[in-house]
A and B are shown apart, each in its own frame.
Chain A
Amino acid sequence: MESAPILKLEHLGVTFPNHPVFDDLNLTIRQGEMWSIIGKNGVGKTTLMRTILHQLHPTHGKISYLPSQGDVKIGYVPQFRNIDADYPLTIKDFVGLNLTGWKLPWLSAKERAKVQKILDQTGLKQLAKRPIGQASGGEKQKAYLAQALVEAPNLLILDESTASLDPVTKTELLDLVTELNQRLKLTVLFVTHDIPMAQKYTQHYLMMTPGKVEQGPIANLTTEKVWEGENV
């Protein structure tokens, strides 16, 4: 049985001055699904993600968030981060930054427990006290993931966040995301240029090309199809 939709895009379009980024995009994403969003640089993948994140208003069309319970919460792991290597910010503190609101400066016991739980789930327990600036590339990506997950999102967006990782670390991170996807029914949008990883880890794809958007089960995404259109 198909799970309930969590996000629905209907006839969605974004136009920058004199430049339509994408047009008439229709997409239904169901709870617990893992999608790859692929396409060449500049084709509008990040614009689409920013629209889903409410940071850009669509020029036309509609986005509906349909979480089965409560509000929709989106965790976003961006491609680039600028963290000074000398900042006195431990991985634990870094993860806790995402717990915002008009609250006291320090974290409550409940919030500290939340941070601890997510550190356990992402395998960062032993590294909690390591300064984020001194962590390795893979550890940093895990910390970015943990920060995005600390508020228990229903939808996680990985925006080319594995692009700079070596193959082993990349696999480790995506294994972790898959495990969380299965255990927590977390819905994942994986923006990537890495077709083999998309084929290995996700069940659906959305391929963006100028003026056209194609989607379907990942089995239909053949290497020929990608290279024919020079789409990554």
Chain B
Amino acid sequence: MFSYEFMRNAFAAGTIIAIICGIMGVFVIARNMSFLTHTLSEIGFSGAAFGVFAGWAPLNGMLLFTVVSSVIVGQLSARSERREAATSAISALFIGLGILFLSLANKNASYATSILFGSVIGISAGDVQQMLWLSLLVLVVVFVIYRFLKFDSFDHTGARVKGLWTNALSITFLVLLALSVSVAAQIVGSLLIFILLTLPAATAKYFAHTVGGMMVLAITLALVGVWSGLVLSYATNFPVSFFIAAIEAIFYFIALGWQRLQTAE
């Protein structure tokens, strides 16, 4: 399996994605942003379609659209009660735009499928390198603002009364999330990216005792899902995103069951 360059690239990319998603996912869950993450992945689809239409690499189109829209979403929905409606409106607009750009680009349905559902064979060494740099950027920023981000994510009221710049933190986080979505969409596709950004962390929440522990467990679960997904996809020729989605969903249901047992005891 590793004699093929595309599989080596896919494993390298998958490992980077799992680490980024494990870390960012913890904050996505703590900030209750699963729905917004889903929307950003749809915006990613639209951005990739725009990239194809404009003759760019799909990743660059994704980066442009997700980063710009994350700032707009952040501005429109700084108040959480408005977030769901604003997110739905933006989601609808961007899916429509994605379809328009694909149609204008005259690409066939299989191209759309690969953007939406991801692809293993399409990852080049150059893509891996670009993903690595973007991921490092995300990791460095998270490292620098970690204490502020942790305070704001796990105790928003406390962070606000302390006078932390919570709106700026929120927008910074959304931009980091946009970068993570664009990176991770390369393998699992834009439609299923929220799986890796939400499920491993949501599962880890039930087993971990500290935020650090939750991160380590979320990264581990994401790595298990991505690596197993790649192996199974190679062996069966079925889409990798199906296996990753199924594995992460199974982990999550096991965690829910375990949690119920704990509560029942």
User: Given the interface contacts A88-B208, A89-B211, A93-B211, does A82 sit within 8 Å of B156 by beta carbon?
Assistant: yes
Whether A113 is near chain B, meaning CB under 8 Å from some CB there, is no
- B206 touches which of A80, A86, A103 (Cβ 8 Å): A86
Q: Considering residues A54, A87, A99, which has the most beta carbons from chain B within 10 angstroms of its beta carbon?
A: A87
Whether B82 is near chain A, meaning CB under 8 Å from some CB there, is no
**What residue of chain B has the Cβ atom nearest to residue A81's Cβ?**
B157
Taking A90-B210, A100-B147, A100-B151 as given, write out 13 further A-B residue pairs in contact, using a Cβ cutoff of 8 Å, ordered by the A residue number.
A78-B157, A81-B158, A82-B157, A88-B205, A88-B211, A88-B213, A89-B154, A93-B210, A94-B154, A97-B154, A103-B147, A105-B146, A105-B147
User: Given the interface contacts A80-B157, A97-B150, A99-B147, does A88 sit within 8 Å of B209 by beta carbon?
Assistant: yes
Give A45-87 interface residues, CB cut-off 8 Å to B: 53-55, 76, 78, 80-84, 86-87
Q: Complex Cα distance A98/B162, Å?
A: 8
A118 to chain B, nearest CB (A): 15
- B155 touches which of A53, A55, A90, A97 (Cβ 8 Å): A97
Q: Complex Cα distance A86/B146, Å?
A: 21
The interface size of chain A toward B, counting residues with CB under 8 Å, comes to 30
Give B178-235 interface residues, CB cut-off 8 Å to A: 204-206, 208-214
**Residues on B facing A (Cβ under 8 Å):** 30, 143-144, 146-148, 150-151, 154-159, 161-164, 204-206, 208-214, 259
Q: Complex Cα distance A40/B123, Å?
A: 64
Q: Complex Cα distance A137/B259, Å?
A: 22
**With contacts defined as CB atoms under 8 Å apart, how many contacts are there between chain A and chain B in the complex?**
71
**What residue of chain B has the Cβ atom nearest to residue A84's Cβ?**
B30
The answer to whether B148 and A100 have CB atoms under 8 Å apart is: yes
Q: Complex Cα distance A81/B157, Å?
A: 6
Chain A residues within an 8 Å CB radius of B162: 76, 98, 100
